[in-house]
Amino acid sequence: MFGKLTWQAIPLHEPIPLISGIAVYLAVIGLVVWVVIKGYGPYLWREWITSVDHKRIGVMYCILAAVMLLRGFSDAIMMRAQQALAFHGGGYLPPSHFDQVFSAHGTIMIFFVAMPFVIGLMNFAVPLQLGVRDVAFPTLNSVSFWLTAVGALLVNLSLVVGEFSRTGWLPFPPLSELRYSPGVGVDYYCWAIQISGIGTLITGINFVTTILKLRAPGMSYMRMPVFCWTALASCLVIVAVFPILTATLAMLLLDRYLDFHFFTDTAGGNSMMFMNLIWAWGHPEVYILVLPAFGVYSEVVATFSGKPLFGYRSMVIATMAICIISMTVWLHHFFTMGAGPDVNAVFGIASMIIAVPTGVKVFNWMFTMYGGRVRFTSPMLWSLGFIVSFVIGGLTGVLLAVPAADFQLHNSEFLVAHFHNTIIPGVVFGLFAGYTYWFPKAFGFVLDERLGKWAFWLWVVGFWVAWAPGYVAGLEGMTRRLQHYDNPAWHPWMLLSALGVLIILAGIVAQIAQLVVSIRTRAARRDLTGDPWDGRSLEWATSSPPPVFNYATLPNVTARESYWDAKQQPRETTQPITSEPDYEPIEIPRNTPVGFVTAFLATVTGFALIWHIWWMVVLGLLGALITFVVFAWRDRTEFVISADEAARVDRANRAVRAESLLALAR
């Protein structure tokens, strides 16, 4: 009746998942009760859950990422504790659990922290920077978000119902085949990623279309902010490679469910093909993550140096070059699998070439700062921490690109240190910089700077204390993912690493404190002008937060930094920044529950597929079909904001802005 699902699936005999499961369950119930009691339900449904507004969806993506960061980081603490303790002993985590922990850690951090955070920032900022009202397909945007949330939900569900995958963040066969992983873990992983992968692909299509076809009048390609260029490059890579992930995981699922033989070790299967295809996706994936982070740095460094970004054209060329080259280097993840010197050499050289456009970008950021008046706000600190740390991580990457060196260091702690060294200072610092930078625009008040700086220093120091030992241990021969070890040379490094993770924990506590304190004192830190940082791009011309329609009239863009140029007019005149436009009625797409309903059905179908509850699968798919048809039958898709209403909102914002600008000028 319920397929493979029985009461044994609940981990009553395993304290860690049991206790954490109960704690999360109580927290969720508590949250729901609080929402119901306070009467926030209808508001949340109307304004957030069914919203198709890119600003709201962007915020929801970031909230999802932040919550999952806590889960992924708990896994990190568990792993570091285990490796610190498990010298000449078993530590506290049995191997089967340790395997699930490191698999969950990687899966959650890449798919449910980094991706949603990056997509959230793109969602929030890109339409505002392009001077338009929303993305090309707002309803699909909502569907994308909810499908990503389903993936996160399924992964977390595996903690309390069943088990998670033990095969690492990429499920290599033959270990991930049914014969060697008969449990539901790999299925949880595969279906969670397949479902959220559809959401990500839709996002990629949405943003490529938006950036290429939906920009304010006058905004030619070379007048777009660099963040939009990096968003475009990242989304082009998403569109190019996520189908490969979908196909490859589908092949693995076919092997597991229908006894196909793509990657099995019998009947002619070739498990090396999985490696080939999955890394053809996997390497471009990290560029999907890092390119928007580079875009954030471009915005932040230019703004806080008080200068236009140096070398705009070369930045654009470097971005698009990285976009293309990133899809030609994937074999460097399996130099040791035996393709031979010719193949290894070609991919090794390509992997080194890709460092060149990245270097161009780093020099451009440095030249932007040179001769500028640098303000060391926390977004700028995150960017500086990035430049110093990421360059080192990138250099270790170039070192690993040499096949002969990689033969020594493949799958060692050196490798683990390298990719954390590129992802944390590269992607995560960029996300934190973007979060701090755009927070006032999203919520109307600035985050506490002091706590922000504390968070930065704790993160950057903690990061180096945690990961520098990894390089040493790797060079001393330590392999990755060890549940226990006997080599005394590695032990002190593992202890140091655990200390580092505790320092990072303090950094995360500082970030949580920053948010709580800022919300508490938000009245005192209101951003009235909409432009708290003296910004350069169009989003700072709106109020904080912007009205639902972003711009009462689409701005007429005549230069690369239209808003900055407009501000350079003498500020002591009594004229507001822009003269009043001719207001016209504005059409806004209607909110719709289709994203949420799709997510619900996807959860049901995914869960049913994992546990082999076939009748539930059929019901779920039927529900999806009915939902599509019902949704397609809609007649009213938009509502109109009258010209008077738009005028009223806009005039109020202008008045506030004019007043505070005058106050500044006095």
In the range 306-325, which residues lie near another protein by CB under 8 A? 324
d(C-alpha 190, C-alpha 602), whole Å = 13
Catalytic residue of the set 142, 264, 298, 378: 298
Among 1, 568, 574, 666, binds another protein (CB under 8 A): 568
In the range 543-562, which residues lie near another protein by CB under 8 A? 553-556, 558-559, 562
Residue 339 binds to another protein (criterion: CB under 8 A) = yes
Which of these ranges, 6-14, 44-52, 235-243, 394-402, lies near another protein under the rule CB under 8 A?
235-243
Catalytic residue of the set 56, 333, 420, 491: 420
Residue 583's identity, in one-letter code, is Y
In the range 110-149, which residues lie near another protein by CB under 8 A? 132-133, 136-137
Toward another protein, which CB reaches closer, 254 or 508? 254
In the range 238-277, which residues lie near another protein by CB under 8 A? 239-244, 246-248, 250-251, 254-255, 258-262, 264, 266-270, 272-273, 276-277
In the range 449-478, which residues lie near another protein by CB under 8 A? none
Residue 350 binds to another protein (criterion: CB under 8 A) = no
Residue 574 binds to another protein (criterion: CB under 8 A) = no
Among 74, 96, 139, 328, binds another protein (CB under 8 A): 328
CA distances from 123 to 59, 306, 425, 431, 484 (A): 8, 26, 22, 13, 43
DSSP single-letter state for residue 572: T
CB of residue 660 to another protein, shortest distance in Å = 16
Catalytic residue of the set 210, 518, 537, 550: 210
Among 204, 434, 440, 530, binds another protein (CB under 8 A): 204
621 CB burial (10 A radius; 0-12, 13-18, 19+): middle
Among 19, 33, 388, 625, binds another protein (CB under 8 A): 625
Is 645 one of the catalytic residues? no
Residue 11 binds to another protein (criterion: CB under 8 A) = no
d(C-alpha 70, C-alpha 67), whole Å = 5
Q: To which residue do tokens 């690993």 refer?
A: 400
d(C-alpha 617, C-alpha 607), whole Å = 8
DSSP single-letter state for residue 372: S
d(C-alpha 507, C-alpha 608), whole Å = 40
Element (H, E) at 591: none
Is 4 one of the catalytic residues? no
Mark residue 29 as left, alpha or beta (left: phi above 0; alpha: psi -120 to 50; beta: remaining): alpha
- Cβ atoms of 123 and 54 within 8 Å: the answer is yes
In the range 575-594, which residues lie near another protein by CB under 8 A? 575-582, 584, 586-587
d(C-alpha 190, C-alpha 255), whole Å = 12
Catalytic residue of the set 60, 68, 79, 616: 79
Toward another protein, which CB reaches closer, 63 or 178? 178
Residue 12 binds to another protein (criterion: CB under 8 A) = no
- Applying CB under 8 A, what is the total number of residues that bind another protein? 92
Catalytic residue of the set 75, 99, 406, 650: 75
Residue 642 binds to another protein (criterion: CB under 8 A) = no
Cα 459 from chain centroid (whole Å)? 18
Is 556 one of the catalytic residues? no
- Cβ atoms of 277 and 247 within 8 Å: the answer is yes
- HSE-CB for 151 with a 13 A CA cutoff: 31
- Cβ atoms of 217 and 250 within 8 Å: the answer is no
Largest CA distance in the chain: 82
Q: Which residues are catalytic?
A: 61, 71, 75, 79, 102, 123, 134, 141, 144, 148, 200, 203, 210, 283, 285, 287, 298, 314, 358, 361, 418-420
